[in-house]
Amino acid sequence: MLSRDLLRERPDEVRSRLEDRGVDLMLVERWARLDGERREALVEVEGLKRTRNEASKKIGEIKREGGDAHDAIAEVGELKGRIEILETRLGALDEELRWVELRLPNLADDEVPLGADEESNRVEREVGEPPAFDFEPRAHWDLGAELGILDFERSAKLAGSRFALYRGAGARLERALASFMLDLHTEEHGYTEWIPPYIANEESLTTSNQLPKFADDHFHLDDSGYWLIPTAEVPLTNIHRGEILDEAELPLRYTAFTPCFRAEAGSHGRDVRGLIRNHQFHKVELVQLTTPAASAAALEEMVRHAGRVLELLEVPYRVVTLSRGDMGFGAARTCDLEVWLPSQETYREISSCSNCRDFQARRGAIRYRATEGGRPRLVHTLNGSGLAVGRTFVAVLENHQQSDGTVLIPERLRPYMGGRERLSSLS
């Protein structure tokens, strides 16, 4: 959420930078009008309260002198009524202002490329070479079916489209990937592992900017006020909601492996086959809480941590800075990691790492107290996939497939697979 001081004191800059993100500027104009009304009402209320206090003192003086305070009492009554009307109006204006504020996205950092969509994204670097096959590479859904480790027909019977059923070595590979990622992030990258609830309340999704704008993209548990989490970013970011941390505690690095649930309401029929875009999938999430001075460097660190997973799995990828029009709602800057998929002969997103600066912290009142004292300040929050497990499963299958239909298991992953070196049709 953007600060009211920023919206009030630098309106032209806010309009320009929100326009770069494709925002309807009528929302900004509406906020300015409501804020003007609120400030006028607030000035009037404060003036009336001063007048009421003076009138109340006058009543006391009249009574002490034995006079008739009837008219003064009537005046105080009228003032009280007017104050109550204005305070009700102020409450309504605050609600309307918050309604608008919750629908305004974050401002992009200056170095974020201009552009309306992914066509304006900037490739920062490529890591690893796409494999050169002497045969036609197979898509992961065909490989999975032939190896007997994925069954999409039965998963459709169980739950419908956009779900997956892992079998045997496929189930173990999914579990192995998650364990490998968690061990890497906790033992080598300094993250603390959590197992959070997989259901969240409305306040948690609002803090992490999934609500109210993206309600249709998530699964709501009817009449309960609860939602299935779309990512572990939601609970991890909210652990310290409403708290004041000590600066010495920062940065906080948190990770969690959870199922994720997404309605995919805006997917418009994309990636209907396979594991790329499902209603339920697993992900290892990374979240950091930092001081403002450290958050830019923390984003680069998080990108390295996510990329290290792919490097150890011997899978080629690239790092891309998203344009202003392609970034997520709460991000000030986002770097995607895109993994090479041989069957599609292109790179596909496998991790999205974002610096939200104080946008989420303002929604959730997540603050820290500087060592030199002073008023508490808002932390900066960052989040990223480290990685999406199903998409990593896809990348391993497709990049390490062999001409005989088997799939080599990356060496770093073999201890998690009981020493197994390859997947075969006997899986």
Residues with catalytic function: 262, 277, 349, 352, 391
Encoded tokens for 393: 């499963």
Q: What is the Cα 21 distance to its own chain's centre?
A: 17
Residue among 217, 339, 231, 361 at smallest CA distance from 295: 361
Degrees to nearest 5, angle at CA 314 with 252 and 351: 40
Element holding 383 (H helix, E strand): strand 380-388
User: Which residue bears the tokens 């890497």?
Assistant: 184
Residue 233 in contact with residue 359, Cβ under 8 Å? no
Strand 199-201 relative to strand 377-378: parallel, antiparallel, unpaired? unpaired
Instruction: Please report, for residues 59, 193, 392, the alpha-carbon distance to residue 284 in angstroms, rounded to integers and kept in the order given.
Output: 68, 10, 11
Encoded tokens for 199: 């259901």
Residue 319 in contact with residue 399, Cβ under 8 Å? no
Instruction: Decide: helix, strand or coil at residue 38.
Output: helix
User: Which residue bears the tokens 């969690």?
Assistant: 256
Cis peptide, bond prior to residue 102, ω within 30 of zero: no
User: Which residue bears the tokens 């150890």?
Assistant: 312
